[in-house]
Amino acid sequence: MNPGQFKTPPTLPSRRRFIFGAGGLVIATAAGGETIASGAKQYAVPDDPRKQPGRPANDDDGYGVRSQFARTHRVGGPSWALTPIQDLYGTITPSALHFGIHHAGIPTIDPEKHRLFIHGMVKRNRELSMEDLLRLPRVTHTYFLECSGNTSSSWKEPRYNDIQMTHGQMSNTEWTGVPLRIVLQEVGLDPRATWVVAEGSDAAMMSRSIPLSKCLDDALLAFGQNGEELRPDQGFPLRLLLPGYEGNTSIKWLRRLEVTDRPHMTRMETRGYTDTLPDGRSRQFSFVMEAKSVITFPSAPMILDGRGFYEIAGLAWSGSGRITKVEVSADAGKHWTNARIEGPVLPKAFVRFRLPWQWDGRAAVLQSRCVDETGQVQPTQKELVESRGAKSFHHYNAIQQWGVNAKGEVSNVQV
Amino acid sequence: MNPGQFKTPPTLPSRRRFIFGAGGLVIATAAGGETIASGAKQYAVPDDPRKQPGRPANDDDGYGVRSQFARTHRVGGPSWALTPIQDLYGTITPSALHFGIHHAGIPTIDPEKHRLFIHGMVKRNRELSMEDLLRLPRVTHTYFLECSGNTSSSWKEPRYNDIQMTHGQMSNTEWTGVPLRIVLQEVGLDPRATWVVAEGSDAAMMSRSIPLSKCLDDALLAFGQNGEELRPDQGFPLRLLLPGYEGNTSIKWLRRLEVTDRPHMTRMETRGYTDTLPDGRSRQFSFVMEAKSVITFPSAPMILDGRGFYEIAGLAWSGSGRITKVEVSADAGKHWTNARIEGPVLPKAFVRFRLPWQWDGRAAVLQSRCVDETGQVQPTQKELVESRGAKSFHHYNAIQQWGVNAKGEVSNVQV
């Protein structure tokens, strides 16, 4: 990057409202209403903040609030909330903006009364309180969580023209918990055991069958996230956390683990979370999330403010391990350039990539393509459809394409 | 760790109230009142959450809230707020719990009107809007911030018997911003320039003189923290961020950078943030925070719930680079054991260390001692006082000692 390349953008036309808190230069296209900064207190704005004392530090009751000028928020409905990945700055997703898909709402659970039951093919059944769990050895790691339905809309037309709608079912946070293997070793496993069925305390009693090998590998009984206790919409007081696996398997409000020698064929692994292949068979227990990347700036529906310097930025991740390379193309895949990957590069976690770009003001198509340490290369949509067919819903990880037209308008395209 | 070592603790006596959200097994000693979970909504708690639908995902207006059972909070007053480091889980400090020391309150600043002025010994004066800054190349890194007055109470008697009071002026977050060197290169530096004076927009117009070499190294013009925009109490919309330097120099609400050939001898580098040495001279411009560590669990004023297995946990950091070793002693420094350091080990950032401990129920003194990649070893209090004298206030980095008595009561001791 030659720092002389950047220039001060011209004053924005009044129809374009600059929104702070975005991945950069997000400009509202709609004439639509102001979003209120949820979670913020409103204070009068002095003409010159140097001329009057500011608010006291203890005005927030010991738990800080964000700026009243912040506009970033999850879009969602009664059963879902999407991370505004276009507005994130680094790799950490704030807990307040973590995505969530819920099948019977968010239960309110008293942690003192919560219990985890472990039974089935074990030597000793066990009932653990949160106090019991908090006393055990713990680990902290940063992992992404992605719903296997993330970008599912991209399997077919029409496409959402909004990155939060296409890619918002993913987040990346610092998790703290007890390795599940410690608890399983303590209860003692029947040598014939091969699966564990995990069940939540919500009214859906969300249940998934998990290979025992995963439970003995990096699975966590997680109670901490981003330095504080898990949020209610992330499973407070306890969730299963299966790094790299489709999000649905990381059972929230975890209450029961049954050790078995076969999967239970629960509703969420038969009715849902399976995909129909071209030959008519179902693809089931497709746990591991594939290598994937997306350019978050610029992305639809942003508008670039004229030709000149921009820094392309995005996220890459893989459920199989570390990302080793991210390439970016600004000409619909004809030429590719290695993007700078910011460290630390952690397994099963987001990395942020960045690449300087001098936009000449002409139409362009932006793409990113990642490779992980297992050699997995993010496919084109054509390649993905050739292997999985067009009847799939989950596990779409193809290269995302953003079109930029001469007006600077960014849209979701397939070329 | 032998997982067979842990046991279920006995039921707690009713006078001890279990508090969730702590670094582990924190038990309230006082009969005192319940703390309200600030920042949380209150919901009815069903007897069995499986029997009724939970709250809708969009009940929180797009910005999530923490559990009503969370009790973790910053203690503070009108001009200060301390991080509850005893309650943190990993290395990230949630923005809502970041410490802050303010000299004229927290100003409310409209980001659209905010400007950064760069002038003095430069080729071109420059006025930058937030839009200008957001358009530049940016980087994301995790760094600690520590007030040089952190643990200042430990220079003398009496000692606070509360880790949040002794060590709460420090936090560790993911920062995003523009490298200051990019902007300084763009404005063009007079070759005789050696210092930069940074000034905030608050009513104190907080000002510090910074060596130009630091500004051309890893200094950031930061606008993002933990994935979202900077919070008002952390300098929204813009702060200087000087990794590894005493926190006071990372000027919040940054409005002016004056390039000079000498320090300005501002109030905050003459009246304050200097220390009197044994020979009567003042130690000034003592920017870099020293190698330091502290055991956060157990720590005062916790009470251990009887003999048995505990996992000792703590934090270590150095303003000079990476932590390479943390040792823990449970016998007042007679024997030391290497603690497990959890990665990633990043420069100028917290690392979490952990060590299993079988408490035999007898009085013990716990200590931690760290080493950084420059070879700096955390000193004992005696060593520190021998070199700096007893008239210092800032930059106390000696080994912290926690006494555990036979009742399990943890207190701040010097042995």
pLDDT tens figures, B156-213: 887 899 999 999 999 999 999 999 999 999 999 999 999 999 999 999 999 999 999 9
Is B77 part of the contact surface with chain A (CB cutoff 8 Å)?
yes
CB contact under 8 A, B224 and A20: no
Is residue B230 in a domain?
yes
CATH number where A358 lies: 2.60.40.650
Same domain, A222 and A275: yes
User: How much is the pLDDT for A30?
Assistant: 34
Peptide bond into A347 cis (omega under 30): no
SS3 A279: coil
User: How much is the pLDDT for B10?
Assistant: 27
Same domain, A276 and A144: yes
- Grade residue A15 by pLDDT with cuts at 50, 70 and 90: very low
The more confident residue out of A266 and A10 is A266
Residue with token string 């030391």? B336
Pairing of strands A195-200, A126-129: unpaired
Q: What is the pLDDT of residues A107-124, one digit of tens each?
A: 999 999 999 999 999 999
CB contact under 8 A, B90 and A174: yes
Is A344 part of the contact surface with chain B (CB cutoff 8 Å)?
yes
Same domain, A135 and A274: yes
Q: What is the pLDDT of residues A237-275, one digit of tens each?
A: 999 999 999 999 999 999 999 999 999 999 999 988 999
User: Taking a C-beta distance cutoff of 8 angstroms, is the pair B344, B351 a contact?
Assistant: no
A76 exposure class (CB count in 10 Å sphere: 0-12, 13-18, 19+): buried
- Chain A: give the shortest CA distance to residue B334, in Å: 25
User: Taking a C-beta distance cutoff of 8 angstroms, is the pair A403, A159 a contact?
Assistant: no
User: How much is the pLDDT for A12?
Assistant: 28
Chain A residues in contact with B313 by the CB 8 A cut-off are 138
The more confident residue out of B209 and B38 is B209
- Round to whole Å and give the CA distance between A174 and B338: 24
Residue range of the domain that includes A209: 115-283
* A340-368 exposure pattern, b = at least 16 Cβ within 10 A, e = fewer: ebbebebbbbbbbbbbbbebeeeebbbbb
Same domain, A306 and A255: no
Is residue B16 in a domain?
no
> Looking at chain B, which residue has its C-alpha nearest residue A127?
B8
CB contact under 8 A, A140 and B311: no
Provide the residue type at B187 as one letter.
Answer: V
In chain B, which among 89-128 make CB contacts under 8 A with chain A?
89-98, 100, 102, 104-112, 128
Q: What is the pLDDT of residues A193-238, one digit of tens each?
A: 999 999 999 999 999 999 999 999 999 999 999 999 999 999 999 9
User: How much is the pLDDT for B402?
Assistant: 98
Helical H runs in A12-170?
130-134, 163-167
What is the token pair recorded at B223? Answer: 């606008």
- Chain B: give the shortest CA distance to residue A49, in Å: 6
> Looking at chain A, which residue has its C-alpha nearest residue B187?
A4
The C-alpha torsion from B107 through B109 and B115 to B116, rounded to 10°, is 40
B76 φ/ψ angles, rounded to the nearest 5 degrees: 175, -175
Whether A21 shows a pLDDT value over 70: the answer reads no
CB contact under 8 A, B6 and A226: no
Is residue B43 in a domain?
no
User: How much is the pLDDT for A38?
Assistant: 66
CATH number where B159 lies: 3.90.420.10
Same domain, A254 and A304: no
User: Taking a C-beta distance cutoff of 8 angstroms, is the pair B165, B75 a contact?
Assistant: yes
Provide the residue type at B105 as one letter.
Answer: G
Whether A2 shows a pLDDT value over 60: the answer reads no
Whether B38 shows a pLDDT value over 70: the answer reads no
**Cα A95 from chain centroid (whole Å):** 11
Question: How many other C-beta atoms lie within 10 A of the C-beta of residue B380?
Answer: 16
Question: How many other C-beta atoms lie within 10 A of the C-beta of residue B31?
Answer: 7
Is residue A132 in a domain?
yes
User: How much is the pLDDT for B30?
Assistant: 34
Q: What is the pLDDT of residues A297-324, one digit of tens each?
A: 999 999 999 999 999 999 999 999 999 9
Q: Which of B20, B90, B175 sits opposite A140 (nearest CB)?
A: B90
CB contact under 8 A, B224 and A89: yes
**Cα A395 from chain centroid (whole Å):** 14
SS3 B133: helix
Angle at B35 between CA B34 and CA B40, to 5 degrees: 125
Provide the residue type at A214 as one letter.
Answer: K
Is residue A83 in a domain?
no
- Round to whole Å and give the CA distance between B276 and B278: 7
Least confident window among A157-166, B123-132, B330-339: A157-166
ipTM exceeding 0.90, yes/no: yes
Same domain, A264 and A397: no
A215 φ/ψ angles, rounded to the nearest 5 degrees: -65, -30
CB contact under 8 A, A54 and B108: yes
| Chain A interface, best mutation among B127, B131, B201, by max A CB count within 10 A | B131
- Chain B: give the shortest CA distance to residue A158, in Å: 26
Same domain, A260 and A153: yes
User: Taking a C-beta distance cutoff of 8 angstroms, is the pair B128, B118 a contact?
Assistant: yes
CB contact under 8 A, B105 and A53: yes
Of A260, A283, A306, the residue at which a domain comes to its end is: A283
Q: What is the mean pLDDT of chain A?
A: 90
A303 φ/ψ angles, rounded to the nearest 5 degrees: -130, 120
Q: Which of A50, A60, A76 sits opposite B201 (nearest CB)?
A: A50
Those residues whose C-beta lies under 8 Å from the C-beta of residue B195, and which sit 6 or more positions away, are: B209, B210, B211, B212, B259, B260, B261, B262, B263, B264
- Round to whole Å and give the CA distance between B107 and A336: 46
The more confident residue out of A40 and A311 is A311
Is B67 part of the contact surface with chain A (CB cutoff 8 Å)?
yes
Mean pLDDT of B326-347: 97
Of A283, A315, A348, the residue at which a domain comes to its end is: A283
Same domain, A260 and A299: no
A158 exposure class (CB count in 10 Å sphere: 0-12, 13-18, 19+): exposed
Same domain, A320 and A400: yes
Is residue A1 in a domain?
no
In chain B, which among 266-305 make CB contacts under 8 A with chain A?
none
Same domain, A263 and A384: no
User: Taking a C-beta distance cutoff of 8 angstroms, is the pair B300, B402 a contact?
Assistant: yes
Same domain, A404 and A299: yes
What is the token pair recorded at B412? Answer: 């701040």
| Chain B interface, best mutation among A103, A140, A357, by max B CB count within 10 A | A140
The whole-model pTM stands at 0.93
User: Taking a C-beta distance cutoff of 8 angstroms, is the pair B339, B268 a contact?
Assistant: no
Provide the residue type at B169 as one letter.
Answer: Q
In chain B, which among 174-233 make CB contacts under 8 A with chain A?
174-176, 182-183, 185-186, 201-203, 205, 223-233
Is B58 part of the contact surface with chain A (CB cutoff 8 Å)?
yes
Is A136 part of the contact surface with chain B (CB cutoff 8 Å)?
yes
Of A283, A311, A340, the residue at which a domain comes to its end is: A283
Same domain, A193 and A341: no
Residue with token string 């949820």? A38
Distances (CA, A) of B163 to B36, B169, B298: 21, 10, 10
User: Taking a C-beta distance cutoff of 8 angstroms, is the pair B300, B411 a contact?
Assistant: yes
Domain count, chain A: 3
Is residue A255 in a domain?
yes
CB contact under 8 A, B57 and A49: no
Is residue A51 in a domain?
no
Closest by alpha carbon to B330, among B303, B361, B306?
B361
